[in-house]
Amino acid sequence: MEPRLPNLAKSCAAFERATQLIPGGVNSPARAFGAVGGHPLFIERARGQYLFDIDGNRYLDYIGSWGPMILGHADPRVIEAIQRAAEKGTSYGAPTENESRLAELILRAVPSIERVRLVNSGTEATMSAIRVARGVTGRSGIVKFSGCYHGHVDSLLVAAGSAAATLGVPDSPGVTPGVSSDTIVLNYNDADAVAQAFDSHGEKIAAVILEPIVGNMGTVIPTKTFLETLRRETSKHGSVLIFDEVMTGFRVAYGGAQSLFGIEPDMTTLGKIVGGGLPLAAYGGKAEIMDQVMPAGKIYQAGTLAGNPLATAAGAKTLEILRDEPPYQQLENLGAQLAAGLESAAKRAGIPAQMQRVGSMMTLFFSEAEVTDWPSADRCNRKRFSDYFWGLIENGVYMPCSQFEALFFSNCHTHEDIELTIAAAERVLAKMANN
């Protein structure tokens, strides 16, 4: 029997209501289904590896709140930690020991971080890291890479990927020419362009920021030469190398992508998993850099809710579980199974596709050629991805709603879940090939 689109009447009504209240009906563009058409599903609850929408439909979840739910949704240990913290109060505007507890976990996991400052979001983390880099170097120039998304920071919202690419507005209105003129945009994995940029502008470049594994134009993996060139050129010219590990930190490995590649940045931004699913992020780095942040130094950065007791409780408990019960080999095994199955399904259907994966983050690109940067990602077949997405929704599988987003799964997913997902993809891709 052919699968049928589940009943989405309540989600449709909820979206109509939301569009009268919220710009575009969503509070973050990546949720808008702009890349796949239709309207977003409104979620009522989640548990383990499943999402449940307000129409009562259940989906195997391959978003995981865009990465942080590595332990699955509503892990009882994390929920208990949040509840215990909430019973004591939700915000104090004063220091707590739990902030230091979380900071210690971060420092022990990521050796390149000698000092860390907690903030509320990945955007705050990257914005603050850029300010600190400019403050310690006395320079204004920033190098970023097309397709890497670092939050809605003015100087970084230039040739951005993810939702901005989906909506076709990589250069957002409201970002002034004065701000964007300090940003040099290069293609990811282009080591020669990096060297040339430093040859021409090295004395003006305060920092280079990048996703060490990209998740915001789909999963794109750096070459060894690219990372080594970045480390060499930034060190040579006295610039700050910033790894944006908001997505990859504690996801691809406990020590993040930098631990996989053996490249030590000067600064790192973290988010997603570090907050255990609550709004929390962090930036950190060498002590000589971070000790210039107020009140230790003169570079200003602050936040009333930074280090919120509920978020630090969730984050610390999550990191402790990942440290004491590491799921990474399990996730690697499941990831290999899923990647091979999805790639094979596309091949059997005769649909050109490229699978790219690191651990439990991956992307099936509907492209005939390998994806190494934004120009190659941009050549993917968006219509084909849309058909694939809705076909999987029909089969109870919730994939990212954009070709330019990585999928994630949790340690609650089972081999049986993966097999069900592969079987669903086979049906969908075969149907696509026949249409």
Catalytic residue annotation: 149, 244, 272
- The residue ranges of DSSP E strands in 225-339, in sequence order, are 240-245, 267-270, 281-285
What is the C-alpha to C-alpha distance for residues 4 and 429, in angstroms, rounded to an integer?
Answer: 15
Contacts of 276 (CB under 8 A, 6+ apart): 68, 78, 81, 82, 311, 313, 314, 315, 316, 317, 318, 319
Burial of 224 (0-12, 13-18, 19+ CB in 10 A): exposed
Other CB atoms within a 10 A radius of the CB of residue 176 amount to 9
Structure tokens at 328: 């990474």
CB-side neighbour CA atoms (13 Å) of 128: 30
Residue by residue, DSSP assigns 198-215 as HHHHGGGEEEEEE-SSB-
Six-digit token string for 204? 């003006």
Q: Quick one: 154 exposed, middle or buried, by C-beta within 10 A (0-12, 13-18, 19+)?
A: middle
Closest listed residue to residue 170, CA positions, set 381, 431, 377: 377
**Structure tokens belonging to residue 329:** 């080999």
Distance CA 256, CA 294 (A): 27
CA 93 to chain centre: 28
Closest among 277, 248, 319, 267 to 117, alpha carbons compared: 267
